[in-house]
């Protein structure tokens, strides 16, 4: 493949041709000549970035394929410009043994047109305090360990998991939630919860468990990764922990960067997710944390559900919203076009940093590196419309938003995984 006139935004910004051979970038230069069998893509007017990387998606297969499958989830991610994603393990059966994990890994390879890596759970069944066989699951191909969807309630369970993972140099990826502080909540505790007469989730449901975990992470030396950080207290705790040398990384979701509880237009469960949209002060602390590096990366927490599960009231609907197909356009439009962040900063948070922190392919456009890149149209304005999506999940609070930024081509391992207007 030969990409002509690529305006590249990677470690530096320049215009060049990119030659791809098999799954690698084999040359970058001016006026490269096409080989006989090269597919030629003219990127004139477009912007070429390292393929986006999302370390937090839910693909729902096996167990919940009415919500999503590995195939539709991967197609959605490719449409969103992602060349690599990491899938969570709140599946049925939970892939907590090599026997249960192996078929999931095989399907991640066979059904996905991008790279799909997999977290295995920390404990059996996600809810028990029995640790999985970490060495065996890593050996089988897990990227690390996460009970996402559920917090690890027992401190010694987390401590033992961290000790093991540290020894194995594998990350512990934490959904931080103290169940005893959930209080049956479905929305952020605050004025909106009161107005709508809904049970609230306090910030400390997250931050008190995070404080415990950071202390344990410091004691064990594990790579501890905090999922979907949502509160100002959590940002402060992570900032302090980093200062004293704890090996902690953190992600923040597009929705927590773009919305807060004041954006919730009444009892509409399209705005229901866990953790919930927080206060304006929390929202601003997340933006500040992203800016100063306390929050290392952006991850979507793509959580597809059926429309039935997302209808009715906050009280009964499922937690979670989709994100793969809207993350880049929303963040580009609302954070980059508004000059809060540069495009280079956004690409670092959505590609370079997750690649480096989790040892994933890509993150840079370099000769010899993987041919994982995304060709973007940053100009055309369009309306977010779920009928354009590959995801089975149409649960998003962003439908109808006017945005700029979309993938024209997503190239994963040298293959076109998504092509605008083409067959994926
Ligand atoms: N974020 C959510 O609201 N839901 C996620 C679980 C999770 O990420 O904790 C899901 O699996 O639906
Ligand atoms: Zn979670
Ligand atoms: Zn999640």
Q: Check if 46 has its Cβ closer than 6 Å to any atom of ligand 1.
A: no
Does ligand 1 lie within 6 Å of residue 301's CB atom?
A: yes
Q: Which domain holds residue 253?
A: 52-364
**Cβ–ligand 1 contact at 148 (below 6 Å):** yes
In three-state secondary structure terms, 379 is strand
Q: Which atom of ligand 1 lies nearest, measured to the CA of 175?
A: 9
Which tokens is 409 given?
A: 């081509």
Ligand 1 atom nearest to CA at 227: 8
CATH number of the domain encompassing residue 310: 3.20.20.140
- For the Cβ of 303 lying below 6 angstroms from any atom of ligand 1, the answer is yes
372 catalytic, yes or no?
no
What CA–CA distances, in Å, run from 254 to 125, 275, 286, 350, 363? 29, 13, 11, 10, 19
Tell me how far apart the terminal alpha carbons of the chain are, to the nearest angstrom.
Answer: 17
Looking at the CA of residue 56, tell me the nearest atom of ligand 1: 8
Domain count within the chain: 1
Give the number of whichever ligand sits closest to the CA of residue 85. 3
Specify the length of the chain in residues: 424
Q: Does the residue 407 lie in any domain?
A: no
Q: Which residues contact 13 (CB under 8 A, 6 or more apart)?
A: 7, 344
Mutation pick for ligand 1 pocket among 273, 277, 322, 324 (CB with most ligand atoms within 8 Å): 273
Cβ-count burial of 111 within 10 angstroms (0-12 exposed, 13-18 middle, 19+ buried)? middle
For residue 137, the tally of other CB atoms under 10 A from its CB is: 27
* C-alpha 80 to ligand 1 mean position (Å): 19
The pLDDT of residue 9 is 97
Q: Is residue 189 part of a domain?
A: yes
Q: How far is the CA of 168 from the centre of ligand 3 (A)?
A: 24
pLDDT for the residue numbered 423: 57
Active-site residue, from 301, 377, 379, 385: 301
Q: Is 320 labeled as ligand-binding?
A: yes
Going by alpha carbons, the residue nearest to atom 6 of ligand 1 is 149
CA of 148 to the centre of ligand 3 (A): 6
Is 233 within the bounds of a domain?
yes
Ligand 1 closest atom vs CA 148: 9
269 alpha carbon – ligand 1 mean position (Å): 14
Instruction: Flag whether 147 is in a domain.
Output: yes
The verdict on the CB of residue 61 being under 6 Å from ligand 1 is: no
The pairs formed by 279-285 with CB atoms below 8 angstroms and a separation of 24 or more are 279/188, 279/190, 281/232, 282/203, 282/230, 282/231, 282/232, 283/256, 283/257, 283/259, 284/232, 285/231, 285/232, 285/235, 285/236
Residues with CB under 5 A from ligand 3 (ion): 148, 301
Each of the 424 residues of the chain gets a pLDDT tens digit; together they read 999 999 999 989 999 999 999 999 999 999 999 999 999 999 999 999 999 999 999 999 999 999 999 999 999 999 999 999 999 999 999 999 999 999 999 999 999 999 999 999 999 999 999 999 999 999 999 999 999 999 999 999 999 999 999 999 999 999 999 999 999 999 999 999 999 999 999 999 999 999 999 999 999 999 999 999 999 999 999 999 999 999 999 999 999 999 999 999 999 999 999 999 999 999 999 999 999 999 999 999 999 999 999 999 999 999 999 999 999 999 999 999 999 999 999 999 999 999 999 999 999 999 999 999 999 999 999 999 999 999 999 999 999 999 999 999 999 999 999 999 985 4
Residue 156, class by beta-carbon neighbours within 10 Å (0-12 exposed, 13-18 middle, 19+ buried)?
exposed
- Quickly list H helices, 244-301: 254-258, 280-292
- Measure CA 361 to chain center: 15
In this predicted structure, what is the pLDDT of residue 424? 47
Report how far residue 189's alpha carbon sits from residue 191's, in angstroms, rounded to the nearest whole number. 7
Within a domain: 268? yes
Structure-token match 């508004």, residue found: 338
The pLDDT of residue 422: 83
Ligand 3 centroid to Cα of residue 303, in Å, is 6
For ligand 3, the distance from its centroid to the CA atom of residue 55, given in whole angstroms, is 10
Residue with the smallest CA separation from ligand 1 atom 2 is 320
pTM of the complete model beyond 0.95: yes
Residue 335 C-alpha from the chain's centroid = 17
Tell the residue nearest (CA) to atom 4 of ligand 1: 320
- The annotation status of 301 as a binding-site residue, yes or no, is yes
User: Do the domain assignments include residue 356?
Assistant: yes
Q: Which atom of ligand 1 is nearest to the CA of 150?
A: 9
Residue 129 within any structural domain of the chain: yes
Q: Quick check: is 38 in a domain?
A: no
For residue 60, say whether it is annotated as part of any ligand binding site. Answer: yes
């Amino acid at each position: 493949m030969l990409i002509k006139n690529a305006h590249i935004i990677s470690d530096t910004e320049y215009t060049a041709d990119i030659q791809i051979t098999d799954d690698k970038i084999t040359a970058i230069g001016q006026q490269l000549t096409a080989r006989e069998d090269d597919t030629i893509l003219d990127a004139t007017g477009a912007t070429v970035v390292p393929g986006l990387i999302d370390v937090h998606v839910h693909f729902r297969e096996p167990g919940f394929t009415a919500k999503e499958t590995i195939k539709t989830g991967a197609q959605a991610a490719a449409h969103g410009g992602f060349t690599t994603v990491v899938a969570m393990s709140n599946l049925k059966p939970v892939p907590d043994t090599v026997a249960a994990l192996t078929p999931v890994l095989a399907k991640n390879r066979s059904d996905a047109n991008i790279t799909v890596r997999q977290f295995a759970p920390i404990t059996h069944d996600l809810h028990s305090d029995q640790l999985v066989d970490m060495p065996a699951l890593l050996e089988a191909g897990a990227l690390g360990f996460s009970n996402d969807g559920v917090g690890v309630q027992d401190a010694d369970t987390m401590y033992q998991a961290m000790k093991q993972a540290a020894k194995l140099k594998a990350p512990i990826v934490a959904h931080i939630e103290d169940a005893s502080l959930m209080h049956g909540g479905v929305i952020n505790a605050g004025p909106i919860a009161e107005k709508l007469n809904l049970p609230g989730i306090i910030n400390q449901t997250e931050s008190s468990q995070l404080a415990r975990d950071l202390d344990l992470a410091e004691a064990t030396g594990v790579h501890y990764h905090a999922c979907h950080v949502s509160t100002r207290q959590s940002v402060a705790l992570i900032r302090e922990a980093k200062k004293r040398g704890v090996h902690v990384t953190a992600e923040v979701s597009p929705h927590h960067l773009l919305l807060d509880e004041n954006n919730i237009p009444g009892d509409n469960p399209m705005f229901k997710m866990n953790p919930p949209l927080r206060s304006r002060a929390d929202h601003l602390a997340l933006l500040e944390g992203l800016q100063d590096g306390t929050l290392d990366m952006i991850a979507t927490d793509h959580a597809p559900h059926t429309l039935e599960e997302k209808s009715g009231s906050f009280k009964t609907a499922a937690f979670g919203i989709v994100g793969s197909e809207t993350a880049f356009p929303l963040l580009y439009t609302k954070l980059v076009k508004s000059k809060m962040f540069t495009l280079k900063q956004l690409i670092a948070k959505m590609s370079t940093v997750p690649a480096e922190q989790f040892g994933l392919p890509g993150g840079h456009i370099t000769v010899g590196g993987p041919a994982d890149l995304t060709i973007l149209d940053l100009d055309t304005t369009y309306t977010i419309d779920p009928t354009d999506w590959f995801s089975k999940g149409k649960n998003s609070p962003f439908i109808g938003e006017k945005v700029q930024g979309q993938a024209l081509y997503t190239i994963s391992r040298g293959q076109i995984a998504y092509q605008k207007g083409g067959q994926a």
